[in-house]
């Protein structure tokens, strides 16, 4: 009976072994190919294999009493298992090599994509648009699918579509997760997730997952290991993607967590399509940062020019403006995770060089049409096939041009039980422009009579008048301005420009958030405007040589003496009262008395433009006054200059000083509004600070500050380098601002 017992025991062990790992485990293309990849499993297999031979189970003692046959069987079995283990090891190595190759492929695709973008942007606007168009078409397609899942309205139709959706390719991890959760067992998803070729991987994956002989424990084991491997594999790919600055949407879950919502930013301008100043920059950059946090984000802007990226959505709507029927259509592009919707109408067309041009009534009519159409965009503009809808939606309106939006939202819709869950936040970029006019302008706004009270404002400057910003501030659910300093100033009589009373009354819903920088556009190591004409990209590591090269290229381009040791002082901005250009004029005799070069770029008031030309005319060896709007020159001056001068009388935030610091250019600023928030005065004792500030908008104060700055430049090189480095090392991206905006959006959402 002993031999029978031994045979039974041995057979049981073998049956048990197969029961756990399946018969196909002995097939070279079978489950071991799959299981072998998990390091821990190898020893388990060996252990089980040995147990099957009985040698680890103490059965050996009985075997010694048994016949040679039994011993041979055990030996053969042991040899087979050993061979099998070796094969497993070889396959494991092979799989690791495949994963490595796949990782390289992902990395090369990622870097190619970045190169395409950089190439696109390097070209002049025409080719930039073409390339972007390609990108947007692709991502638009993805968005079409993705947006369906993120749409908050879950109509029957939507949830049906959801079954087949996939998020954008960058969100690979969640694709695989969902495939495993929803569709497993599925050989394709698992093999794809592992990066296995179909021939090697699919059958193995299928066996591993679907084999009926898999016990619950081994199923769990396989799943866990699969997930680990997928995590690791995709994590590596994502890490490589993350290393690319400015990449779009990243891993799930979204940073915004449960607060994910639909956000529509509405602005009169948006870079790169339309820009007269900082509003265009913000409208182009903040939405991308919000999208990165997981929100579904749209920008709505008039279609001033014949832009090539946006495609006609084929939707037509009519709105009445001052008694006249006007038709609008909607153009759409999906770029960097954001839906850009352009509202087309004959009254916007061909205005790209003159966005705010025309008489007061003309501008008002344009803004009335724009706001009337913009507030209904979530109903009519199908982005990626699905409209945003008005649930879980917050508008971000900007400056007086779109301050009618919160008023329309209330008067046309919420007062009538529509758009009940839609909110509007109004951002003040500049209170100096308010949309003022005579009371009679009210009829153009086309609102119920009692709404006149929102618009009526009396101040000593304008008497009783119609004021669009005033109405917007009252109707908005929340109000944001672009720095803490400016938030404080707006509440004062001097800083509020007649609206301080309203702002004080609405203090509870008012907040300052400092703007960020689009670190893709304004980044010395990526800047597309530094790739030609002798300029060079540079970083913190190559600051010294890179900046010198840009400086020489700038001097050469503008016909100034090419001298490395002469400090270049730059100025970029609108030529108006706000920017304090007249203070530079007053300080001009002192400035040209120094061994410096001054480069000024700007457009605006004609007398100030003339002044710039005169500066240059009288000091050709030291001064250049570029009258015009040139984004390329703005970037090149920022890179090539040593000092950026911003003597603004008031400055809600100011972006140029932020850009300057990113480029190792030291700012000298009037300590006001956002300039005070962002430029910390240099302290030579503690070697801290970011630049020089002066406390009053007076030319002698400017001269003092600039004098100290130049002294440091000439005589304290180490301190100078410290200033540059501290500036460049700051995190000035939109990430933190976007998080603060999100808090405001959430507060608005839950406000009744
Ligand atoms: N001639 C020219 N050629 C090329 N580019 C030129 C140019 N003149 C100006 N720019 C560019 O326009 C932008 C100006 O931005 P700012 O923030 O400095 O001022 P702006 O007063 O327009 O914005 C308002 O809104 C922004 C955004 O909130 C606030 O930062 C700011 O304080 C407030 O006054 C920068 O990108 C600058 O490079």
**Model pLDDT for residues 487-544, shown as the tens digit of each residue:** 999 999 999 999 999 999 999 999 999 999 999 999 999 999 999 999 999 999 999 9
Q: How far apart are CA 492 and CA 496, in angstroms?
A: 6
- 92 CB near ligand 1 (under 6 Å): no
- 575 CB near ligand 1 (under 6 Å): no
- Token readout for 153 is 């309205």
Own/partner pairs, 710-717, CB within 8 angstroms, 24+ separation: 710/567, 710/594, 710/596, 710/643, 712/682, 712/684, 713/567, 713/642, 713/643, 713/666, 714/567, 716/684
pLDDT of residue 106: 52
Per DSSP, the three-state class of 169 is: helix
Q: How far apart are CA 691 and CA 644, in angstroms?
A: 10
Distance in Å, CA 669 to ligand 1 centroid: 15
Residue 139: pLDDT band with limits 50, 70, 90: very low
Distance in Å, CA 284 to ligand 1 centroid: 13
For the chain, the C-alpha Rg in angstroms (whole number) is 33
- 651 CB near ligand 1 (under 6 Å): yes
Q: What percent of the chain has pLDDT over 90?
A: 64
Q: How far apart are CA 133 and CA 293, in angstroms?
A: 24
- 630 CB near ligand 1 (under 6 Å): yes
The residue among 91 and 273 whose pLDDT is bigger is 273
Atom 19 of ligand 1, residue of closest alpha carbon: 278
pLDDT of residue 700: 98
Identify which of 487, 406, 501, 509 has the alpha carbon closest to the alpha carbon of residue 458. 501
Distance in Å, CA 631 to ligand 1 centroid: 11
Distance in Å, CA 540 to ligand 1 centroid: 25
Under a CB-based contact definition with an 8 Å cutoff, are residues 519 and 736 in contact?
A: no
Q: If you write DSSP's letter for every residue of 236-296 in order, what string do you get?
A: HHHHHHHTSTT----SSSPTTGGG--EEEEE-S-BTTTB-SSHHHHHHHHHHHHHHHTT-E
- 714 CB near ligand 1 (under 6 Å): no
- 669 CB near ligand 1 (under 6 Å): no
CA dihedral 44, 46, 49, 54 (to 10 degrees): -100
**Model pLDDT for residues 146-200, shown as the tens digit of each residue:** 222 222 332 322 222 222 222 333 333 332 232 222 333 333 332 333 333 322 2
pLDDT of residue 483: 98
- Token readout for 716 is 């304290």
Q: How far apart are CA 601 and CA 627, in angstroms?
A: 6
pLDDT of residue 352: 86
Q: How far apart are CA 736 and CA 223, in angstroms?
A: 38
Q: If you write DSSP's letter for every residue of 290-325 in order, what string do you get?
A: HHHTT-EEEEEEE--S--SS-EEEEEEEEEEETTEE
Per DSSP, the three-state class of 613 is: helix
Query: Per this entry, what is the length of the chain?
Result: 752
Is 60 exceeded by the pLDDT of residue 722?
yes
- 581 CB near ligand 1 (under 6 Å): no
- 573 CB near ligand 1 (under 6 Å): yes
The per-residue pLDDT of the chain, averaged, comes to 77
Pairing mode of beta strands 643-646, 568-572: parallel
List the Cα angle 574/576/579 in 5-degree steps. 70
- 281 CB near ligand 1 (under 6 Å): yes
Q: Which atom from ligand 1 is nearest to the alpha carbon of 427?
A: 28
Phi, psi of 331 (to 5 degrees): -110, 150
Under a CB-based contact definition with an 8 Å cutoff, are residues 632 and 529 in contact?
A: yes
Distance in Å, CA 655 to ligand 1 centroid: 6
Distance in Å, CA 649 to ligand 1 centroid: 14
- Token readout for 378 is 């979530």
Using most ligand atoms within 8 A of CB, pick from 655, 657, 660 the residue to mutate for ligand 1. Answer: 655
Q: Structure pTM?
A: 0.71
Distance in Å, CA 282 to ligand 1 centroid: 10
- 482 CB near ligand 1 (under 6 Å): yes
Under a CB-based contact definition with an 8 Å cutoff, are residues 78 and 55 in contact?
A: yes
Atom 36 of ligand 1, residue of closest alpha carbon: 278
Q: How far apart are CA 405 and CA 376, in angstroms?
A: 10
């Amino acid at each position: 009976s002993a031999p029978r017992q031994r045979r039974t025991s041995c057979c049981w062990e073998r049956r048990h072994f197969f029961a756990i790992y399946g018969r196909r485990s002995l097939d070279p293309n079978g489950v071991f190919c799959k299981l072998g990849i998990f390091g821990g499993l190898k020893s388990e297999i060996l252990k089980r294999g040995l147990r099957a031979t009985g040698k680890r189970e103490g059965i050996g003692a009985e075997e010694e009493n048994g016949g040679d046959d039994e011993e041979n069987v055990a030996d053969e079995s042991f040899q087979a298992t050993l061979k099998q283990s070796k094969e497993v090891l070889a396959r494991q190595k092979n799989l690791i090599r495949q994963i490595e190759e796949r990782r390289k492929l992902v990395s090369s695709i990622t870097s190619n994509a970045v190169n395409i973008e950089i190439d696109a942007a390097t070209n002049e606007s025409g080719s930039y648009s073409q390339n972007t168009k390609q990108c947007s078409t692709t991502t638009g397609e993805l968005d079409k699918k993705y947006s369906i899942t993120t749409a908050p309205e879950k109509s029957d139709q939507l949830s049906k579509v959801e079954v087949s959706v996939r998020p954008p390719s960058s969100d690979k991890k969640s694709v695989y997760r969902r495939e495993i959760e929803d569709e497993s067992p599925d050989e394709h998803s698992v093999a794809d997730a592992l990066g296995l070729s179909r021939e090697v991987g699919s059958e193995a994956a299928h066996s591993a997952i679907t084999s009926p002989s898999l016990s619950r424990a081994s199923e769990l084991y396989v799943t866990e290991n699969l997930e680990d491997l997928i995590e690791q594999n995709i994590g590596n790919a994502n890490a490589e993607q993350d290393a690319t600055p400015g990449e779009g949407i990243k891993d799930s879950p979204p940073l915004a967590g449960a607060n994910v919502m639909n956000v529509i930013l509405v602005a009169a301008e948006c870079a790169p399509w339309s820009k007269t100043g900082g509003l265009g920059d913000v409208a182009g950059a903040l939405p991308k940062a919000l999208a990165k946090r997981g929100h579904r984000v749209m920008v709505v802007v008039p279609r001033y020019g014949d832009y090539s990226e946006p495609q006609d959505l084929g939707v037509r709507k009519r709105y009445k403006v001052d008694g006249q029927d006007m038709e609008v259509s909607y153009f759409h592009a999906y770029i960097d995770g954001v839906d850009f919707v352009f509202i087309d109408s004959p009254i916007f067309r061909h205005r790209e060089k003159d966005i705010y041009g025309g008489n007061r009534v003309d501008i008002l009519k344009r803004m009335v049409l724009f706001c009337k159409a913009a507030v209904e965009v979530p109903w009519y503009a199908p982005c990626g096939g699905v409209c945003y809808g008005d649930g879980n939606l917050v508008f971000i309106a900007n400056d007086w041009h779109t301050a009618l939006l919160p008023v329309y939202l209330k008067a046309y819709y919420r007062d009538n039980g529509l758009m009940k869950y839609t909110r509007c936040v109004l951002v003040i970029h500049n209170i100096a422009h308010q949309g003022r006019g005579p009371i009679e302008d009210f009829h153009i706004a086309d609102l119920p009579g009692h709404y006149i009270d929102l618009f009526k404002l009396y101040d000593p400057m304008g008497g009783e008048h119609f004021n669009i910003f005033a109405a917007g501030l009252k109707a908005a659910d929340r109000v944001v301005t672009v720095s803490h300093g400016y938030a404080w100033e707006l509440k004062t009589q001097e800083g509020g420009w007649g609206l301080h009373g309203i702002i004080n009354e609405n203090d509870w819903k008012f907040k300052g958030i400092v703007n960020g920088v689009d670190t893709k556009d304004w980044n010395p190591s990526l800047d597309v405007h530094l790739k030609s004409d002798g300029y060079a990209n540079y970083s913190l590591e190559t600051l010294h040589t890179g900046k010198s090269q840009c400086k020489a290229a700038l001097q050469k381009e503008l016909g100034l003496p090419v001298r490395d040791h002469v400090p270049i002082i730059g100025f970029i901005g609108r030529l108006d009262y706000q920017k304090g250009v007249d203070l530079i004029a007053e300080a001009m005799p002192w400035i040209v008395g120094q061994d410096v070069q001054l480069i000024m770029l700007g457009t605006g008031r004609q007398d100030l433009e003339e002044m710039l030309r005169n500066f240059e005319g009288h000091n050709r060896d030291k001064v250049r006054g570029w009258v015009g709007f040139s984004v390329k020159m703005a970037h090149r001056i920022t890179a090539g200059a040593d000092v950026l001068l911003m003597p603004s009388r008031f400055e809600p935030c100011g972006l140029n000083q932020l850009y300057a610091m990113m480029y190792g250019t030291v700012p000298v600023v009037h300590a006001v509004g956002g300039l005070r928030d962002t430029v910390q005065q240099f302290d030579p004792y503690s070697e801290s600070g970011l630049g020089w500030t002066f406390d009053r908008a007076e030319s002698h104060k400017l001269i003092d500050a600039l004098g100290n700055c130049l002294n440091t430049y000439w005589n304290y090189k180490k301190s100078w380098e410290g200033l540059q480095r501290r500036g460049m090392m700051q995190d000035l991206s939109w990430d933190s601002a976007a998080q603060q905006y999100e808090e405001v959006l959430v507060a608005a959402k839950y406000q009744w």
